[in-house]
Structure 1
């Protein structure tokens, strides 16, 4: 679920033991939210992780920190 201002996201997660509601609210800015189609939003785990980190998941950037050089 997304708040009207775009600064709050709520995630309902279910497993065999029950339900859990996660909430995150930004102090400033907005979450970059995907387009809604037929009243639903579908994103991958990676996109969700980036959304929660307030990263633009539509244009991911690679980091040179994660590169590996073999000699």
Structure 2
């Protein structure tokens, strides 16, 4: 079953840490977002394989936007 990772707030993608095909554990950092000069890590909520990364550095994302998918 695929797990979508979505943005919790409006922010800018500061760093993409993982790539598609990479295995991750629960709690691993997927991307780092920047909002109001604060860096906010987005963590994997499940262990699995990253099937897609749907953002790139510099993207401005809205609350609810898809960041990545883990299966």
Q: What TM-score results when the alignment is normalised by the length of structure 2?
A: 0.36
Which has the higher relative contact order, 1 or 2, with Cα contacts under 8 A spaced 6 or more apart?
2
Question: Larger % of strand: which?
Answer: 2
Question: Larger % of helix: which?
Answer: 1
Kindly name which structure, 1 or 2, has the bigger radius of gyration based on alpha carbons: 1
